[in-house]
Chains A and B, each alone.
Chain A
Amino acid sequence: MFFTYLRRELRRRRKTAFVVASGLALGIALVIVVGSVSAGMGRAQDKVLESLYGLGTDMTVTKAAAPPGANDTGRGPRFEFDAKDSGDDQEQSSDRVLVQGFQTLASSTVAEVADQDGVADAVGGLSLQVLKVSGEFKRGEIEKAQPAQPAQPGGAGGGEGRVRGGGAAFGVDSFSVYGTDVTEPALGPLTSSRITAGRTFTEAETDAKVAVVDSAYAKEKKLGIGENITVSGTPYKVVGIATAESADAAANVYLPLAQAQTLADVKGKITTVYVRATDSQHIDDVKTAVRKNIPGTTVTTSADLAATVSGSLSTATDLAASVGKWLSVTVLAAAFLVAGLLTSSAVSRRVQEFGTLKALGWKSGRVTRQVVGEALANGLLGGALGIAVGVGCAYLVTAISPTLTAQLGGGGGGGGGAAATVTGPGGGMGGPLRQATGKAVDIALTAPVSLTTVGLAVALAVAGGLIAGGFGGWRASRLRPADALRRVA
């Protein structure tokens, strides 16, 4: 009888049922869309951060940037070339291996960081920049005014002759090298890339002359597996090609850490410690502990990085978090209220019906259950409609995949030097962020609908039905049969 009565009443009051269900559906669809788009933005941000950090890294530790001082002026590398004898315009080249940011930490910092509470794992990395300057000088020709006078090399000449032509043509080739801890392949800069050809380092290759090359760089330099790449005069065998999962790779070339340290002549030094926390909920605690216990370091968490993300991704995330959330809450609250009032109003119109049932011996509880059952069915109908619309919209967003741009960092990059002197990037942030400042990453937005979101929608539908049923049921339960029958007499 319960279900027969319920079904017939819903059919009889289908307009009211439709209004109530539509209101709830709108609210629930909004919750699904906002929830799924927010999840999509979260994923997009994670992808952006992963491109900097690699998978599994919760924070990086770098040496705190020293304030600029008088000594900084001479920190850039200098390239010196000999002026050769007359007629010798052979190409000359010179390269320098520089530590990114000129700031290093002792390798022992890795162990210190690993000892902190809440740290699951820590590995060191050394970020280098290789600069190669190559070219040739060309001597100038002396135009003789008086053939008796000898030429003076390099001079502007006296009154006896003039130098014409001559000069220098030099090119600068720069690429990045990352020294990685091959014994910890699950953490570090290489985790932001996928090996697409060859292999990664083996744990035995701690000091081997092998390299993994980023696919874009390998393509540019036409490097293949088994070929050699020369870094500062040392040949390394390419064993793998790595492709960045998103955005840019952490480096052009990856070498075993010990090899990178040798190249840069910084034995026992690293630039970055990659840290994985035991619990993602306590990252801030770990950050505080590291900063307190290991002075002179800068700790950068993914939250710090996320805070530096700007551009349309950031704007959309803010919109979803603020406007979307409040819009959903407002529409849901309005839908619940309308559903409640309509159900309550329906009970008012049915006082004779409920009074008669009570006169026939129906308990108040049974009448209330009937009212709540109808409202709940309305809620579930609205929920189903809302889930269908919400999931449809979410799939539409995923199908369209609008592109959002994430601008990383706030412009902390320093300027390049002039001619053959190069100054490294500055800025206060450390680690990957220091390398990524000003980098723009395009991310396609998706709107994944999780089971949790669908579960939330069902819960909201049930809640909406119960709230509406609560309004109506409360009124129905308070009806006294005599009053109900008297009112219609």
Chain B
Amino acid sequence: MYQLKGVTKRYRRGKDTIDALAGVDLTIEDGGRLVIQGPTGGGKSTLLQMLGGLDRPTTGSVELDGVDLAALPEARLTRVRAESIGFVFQSFNLIPTLTARENVETALVPLGLKAADRRERAAAALDSVGLGERLTHLPGEMSGGQQQRVAIARALVKRPKVLLADEPTGNLDESMRDEIMELLEGLWREHGLTFVMVTHDSALARRAPRLATIRKGRVTVTENAAAS
């Protein structure tokens, strides 16, 4: 479970100070699904980075299962990211020189698994997203939707507790968008993940049971009883 208390994030840009997050209090239950929406520059990605332990708040705490990520030393924070948090990015962020399977394996490298185990688990993860036949393909040889599937397989192969997605369909066309969303929702249900997604897309936002709207660094959470 995530528990954010009084989280602020202040950036300096020249002489100006920007409050990306201005006292965010937020709770996300285990297995919960939250969509974060808001205008550009409103602090959506900053909040996601706090949840993922990629950045530290200026003040406040970000607890994951009772452990304050903001106070963890870098090595332990890296370990939390390696074991418990999966990321999916808007531009897929695959390594262009590695094959689909090798890209997925990169998420298992920090866990110290043997190469054979890594290969086996990566192949299974790709199979689960429908890319069992594309193990040796390079990212450049795949469509955008297929690349995002590889990225999803990479996020899930380590069996994380949390899946964080930053505009996962932002670079895809509409049909591909639905396909990827159905895949993500299916995996969320199947694996019992805590799923947090940032999106601009109101249609996608309406599909989430909880919606966090962020404006000028302040978060308002609304429940959507109609969503599945």
Please pick, from A353, A359, A485, the residue contacting B81 in the complex, using a CB distance under 8 A. Answer: A359
Judging by beta carbons under 8 Å apart, are B97 and A9 in contact?
A: yes
A317: CB under 8 A from chain B?
no
Please, how many angstroms separate the alpha-carbon atoms of A9 and B97 in the complex?
6
Judging by beta carbons under 8 Å apart, are A5 and B98 in contact?
A: yes
B154: CB under 8 A from chain A?
yes
Query: Do A356 and B93 contact each other (CB < 8 Å), given the known contacts A1-B102, A362-B109?
Result: yes
A489: CB under 8 A from chain B?
yes
> How many B residues touch A, CB cutoff 8 Å?
32
CB distance from B161 to the nearest CB of A (A): 13
CB distance from A349 to the nearest CB of B (A): 12
Residues in B whose Cβ lies below 8 Å from that of A1? 102, 105-106, 109, 115, 118
Q: Of all chain B residues, which has the CB nearest A4?
A: B102
Query: Do A8 and B97 contact each other (CB < 8 Å), given the known contacts A360-B82, A361-B78, A485-B54?
Result: yes
Please, how many angstroms separate the alpha-carbon atoms of A301 and B118 in the complex?
70
Judging by beta carbons under 8 Å apart, are B55 and A482 in contact?
A: yes
Judging by beta carbons under 8 Å apart, are B75 and A363 in contact?
A: yes
Judging by beta carbons under 8 Å apart, are A366 and B55 in contact?
A: no
A297: CB under 8 A from chain B?
no
Scan residues 20-49 of chain B and give those whose CB is less than 8 A from a CB of chain A: 45, 49
Query: Do A11 and B97 contact each other (CB < 8 Å), given the known contacts A1-B105, A360-B154, A485-B54?
Result: yes
CB distance from A95 to the nearest CB of B (A): 89
Residues in A whose Cβ lies below 8 Å from that of B91? 352, 488
Q: Of all chain B residues, which has the CB nearest A486?
A: B45
B52: CB under 8 A from chain A?
yes
Q: Of all chain A residues, which has the CB nearest B110?
A: A361
Total of A-B residue pairs, C-beta within 8 Å: 79
Query: Do A359 and B54 contact each other (CB < 8 Å), given the known contacts A4-B98, A4-B102?
Result: yes
Scan residues 470-487 of chain A and give those whose CB is less than 8 A from a CB of chain B: 480-482, 485-486
Judging by beta carbons under 8 Å apart, are B54 and A353 in contact?
A: no
Judging by beta carbons under 8 Å apart, are A8 and B98 in contact?
A: yes
B130: CB under 8 A from chain A?
no
CB distance from B141 to the nearest CB of A (A): 14
B125: CB under 8 A from chain A?
no
Scan residues 365-383 of chain A and give those whose CB is less than 8 A from a CB of chain B: 366
- Interface flags, B84-100, vs A, CB<8A=1, else 0: 00010111010111100
Judging by beta carbons under 8 Å apart, are B89 and A362 in contact?
A: no
Residues in A whose Cβ lies below 8 Å from that of B98? 4-5, 8
B211: CB under 8 A from chain A?
no
Residues in A whose Cβ lies below 8 Å from that of B74? 364
B107: CB under 8 A from chain A?
yes
B206: CB under 8 A from chain A?
no
B79: CB under 8 A from chain A?
yes
Judging by beta carbons under 8 Å apart, are A360 and B97 in contact?
A: no
Please pick, from A4, A364, A480, A485, the residue contacting B89 in the complex, using a CB distance under 8 A. Answer: A485
Please pick, from A361, A364, A489, the residue contacting B107 in the complex, using a CB distance under 8 A. Answer: A361
Judging by beta carbons under 8 Å apart, are A489 and B105 in contact?
A: no
Residues in B whose Cβ lies below 8 Å from that of A434? none
Residues in B whose Cβ lies below 8 Å from that of A480? 54-55
Residues in B whose Cβ lies below 8 Å from that of A357? 95, 106
B63: CB under 8 A from chain A?
no
Query: Do A482 and B109 contact each other (CB < 8 Å), given the known contacts A352-B93, A360-B154, A361-B82?
Result: no
Residues in B whose Cβ lies below 8 Å from that of A358? 78, 81
- Interface flags, A1-43, vs B, CB<8A=1, else 0: 1001100110110000000000000000000000000000000
Residues in B whose Cβ lies below 8 Å from that of A488? 91
Judging by beta carbons under 8 Å apart, are B54 and A361 in contact?
A: no
Please, how many angstroms separate the alpha-carbon atoms of A186 and B93 in the complex?
76
Residues in B whose Cβ lies below 8 Å from that of A482? 49, 54-55
Residues in A whose Cβ lies below 8 Å from that of B52? 359
Q: Of all chain A residues, which has the CB nearest B91?
A: A488
CB distance from B74 to the nearest CB of A (A): 8
Q: Of all chain A residues, which has the CB nearest B82?
A: A361
Please, how many angstroms separate the alpha-carbon atoms of A131 and B106 in the complex?
92
B185: CB under 8 A from chain A?
no
Please, how many angstroms separate the alpha-carbon atoms of A482 and B54 in the complex?
5
Q: List 21 A-B contacts (CB under 8 A).
A: A1-B105, A1-B115, A5-B95, A5-B102, A352-B93, A356-B95, A358-B78, A358-B81, A359-B81, A360-B81, A360-B87, A361-B79, A361-B107, A362-B78, A364-B74, A480-B54, A482-B49, A482-B55, A485-B54, A489-B45, A489-B166
List the interface of chain A (C-beta within 8 A of B).
1, 4-5, 8-9, 11-12, 352-353, 355-364, 366, 480-482, 485-486, 488-489
